[in-house]
Amino acid sequence: MTRIDFYVLPDASINQQQLFACRLAQKASKQGHRVYIHTESEEQSKKLDELLWSFSATSFVPHTTDANECADNPVYINHSGDPLDIHDVLINLTQQTPDCFGRFKRFAELLNQDEAIKQAGRERFKFYKSRGYPLHTHKL
């Protein structure tokens, strides 16, 4: 069964939420996991693509936004909801539950202090809890 981790960030910054997604993807990929970062839009996918090139001055996270290159990279960023053959780690940057979440071993929900994001997160938490998923909350 999918383990779901909620990461609650201390501020309302979307940029900090995206930077945390980069750090989480880096950690998971270094541990040998394949990661799918689910974004709201093509614009957000491009922003994550840029951040993964530049967020750390000392390392690089191999990644792609191109479905044709997905098999050759540990991190795939997309907004379509189709993670292809990735089943290890899903990082959600949207306010909805991705349809594919149940086929992942680990699922990270990233929340911040924006009221709309927190409320949507609470609703998703209730949804997962009602279905018996193991939930873990990390207040950062």
What's the whole-model pTM score?
0.96
pLDDT band at residue 132 under the 50/70/90 scheme:
very high
CB 89 within 8 A of CB 23: no
Residue 61: is it exposed, middle or buried by C-beta count within 10 angstroms (0-12/13-18/19+)? buried
Which of 82, 89, 78 lies closest to 30 in space, CA to CA? Answer: 89
Six token digits for residue 74:
């540990």
The angle, 0 to 180 degrees and rounded to 10, between the axes of the packed helices 42-54 and 14-30 is: 60
d(CA 97, CA 121): 9
CB 106 within 8 A of CB 90: yes
Convert the pLDDT of each residue in 72-115 to its tens digit: 999 999 998 777 789 999 999 999 999 999 999 999 999 999 99
pLDDT of residue 50 exceeding 80, the answer is yes
Pairing of β 89-92 and β 75-78: unpaired
Task: Say what the pLDDT of residue 1 is.
Answer: 94
- Please report the sign of the dihedral spanned by the C-alpha atoms of residue 87, residue 28, residue 105, residue 111: negative
Strand order in the sheet with 75-78: 63-64, 75-78, 35-38, 89-92, 106-111, 3-8, 135-139
- Looking at CATH, the fold of the domain delimited by 3-139 is given as Rossmann fold (3.40.50)
